[in-house]
Structure 1
Amino acid sequence: MAIVKEGDTVRIHFVGKLADGTVFDTSEGGASLEIKVGGGEFLPGIEKGVLGMTAGEKKTIIIASGEGYPYHKERVFEYDRSRLPEGLNASVGQQFQMFRADGQPVTVRIIGVNEKTVTLDCNHPLAGKELIFDITLEEIV
């Protein structure tokens, strides 16, 4: 039976969870995800984790906090409320899009509010969290 090696293209189904069991993403009930192992298209921990698996095999892969989506403290900053998009009623937990200097959109999350400023977090929502993936290797393509 063939085993997954670097450079193979595989199809997987997955359920991504946080340490408390909260599901943040899944392919269950939908199409499988096709990835090239070692191609840098998906989280490195997943690509490494499927190495050596065979079709039909199931595995739980744990990605330590910071290894999946590292937390960058420089992506948290104070922002003048008067510069927020018109009509935005700033509240903790709210998300909206801003644009970087190069024109690329970035989703920001409000993590603090006071009279004059809001504290914005531009980190990935899963940054700094331990991620648990239940993987089923559907096939080696």
Structure 2
Amino acid sequence: MIAGQNSVVLMDYTVKDDEGNLIDTSAGQDPLAFILGMGNIIPGLERAFIGKKKGDSFQVRVKPEEGYGERDEALVEVVPRTQFSGIKDLRPGMQLQAQTDDEVMVVTVVKLTDREVTVDANHPLAGKTLNFDVAVVDVRTATQEELAHGHVHGVGGHHH
């Protein structure tokens, strides 16, 4: 089967930044499963699967605008440490959920002082070009239930 809109694709992958640093890999795990065209993975990678079939291997370079976006320095904020009084062992690198007027967002603690905490709401991969090595493990038609739920069920996907 050839991958197209609403196909379930199972992939093995390794992703590195431009310096060759390993960011993530599926090695030693079940393949990652997603429904093509549902936005389950970043756009630049998703488009690369169109027309692929089981057994295909390829590389794709995803620029920030097709991945996790450019960094936005307006999303880095210094807030009073008193807003974190209920959190034990607050440290740089810690990710927390923050409530704004409109949404819940994930922020990363980047700096601490006795009085202030600097947090960054950018995705950790924002601004990075991502280099994927991909192997297509399988391609199949998505079930109606998977399409209705917007994600893959079973191996490599969501289990209900």
Q: Is the 8 A contact 1:97 1:105 kept in 2?
A: no
Question: CA 1:53–1:98 in structure 2 vs 1: closer, same or farther (change >3 Å)?
Answer: closer
Q: Is the 8 A contact 1:66 1:129 kept in 2?
A: no
1:52-71 correspondence runs (5 A): 52-70=51-69, 71=71
1:19-38 correspondence runs (5 A): 19-38=18-37
Residue 76 (str. 1) matches residue 65 (str. 2): no
How many residues end up aligned between the 2 structures?
139
**What is the percentage of aligned positions where both structures have the same residue?**
26
Q: TM-score, normalised by structure 2?
A: 0.74
Deviation (angstroms), 1:48: 0.2
Q: Return the letter of the residue paired with 2:2.
A: I
Q: TM-score, normalised by structure 1?
A: 0.82
Question: CA 1:35–1:98 in structure 2 vs 1: closer, same or farther (change >3 Å)?
Answer: closer
Deviation (angstroms), 1:72: 2.8
Deviation (angstroms), 1:30: 1.2
Deviation (angstroms), 1:104: 6.2
Query: What is the root-mean-square deviation of aligned Cα atoms in Å?
Result: 2.3
Q: Return the letter of the residue paired with 2:134.
A: I
Which range moves more in the overlay, 81-90 or 45-54? 81-90
Q: Return the letter of the residue paired with 1:131.
A: L
Question: CA 1:29–1:87 in structure 2 vs 1: closer, same or farther (change >3 Å)?
Answer: closer
Task: Identify the residue that residue 3 of structure 1 maps to in structure 2.
Answer: 2
CA distance in structure 1 between the aligned counterparts of 2:32 and 2:90, rounded to whole angstroms: 36
CA distance in structure 2 between the aligned counterparts of 1:49 and 1:106, rounded to whole angstroms: 29
Task: Identify the residue that residue 14 of structure 2 maps to in structure 1.
Answer: 15
Q: Is the 8 A contact 1:13 1:28 kept in 2?
A: yes
CA distance in structure 1 between the aligned counterparts of 2:97 and 2:51, rounded to whole angstroms: 42
Deviation (angstroms), 1:110: 2.5
Q: Is the 8 A contact 1:3 1:54 kept in 2?
A: yes
3-state SS of 2:95 partner = strand
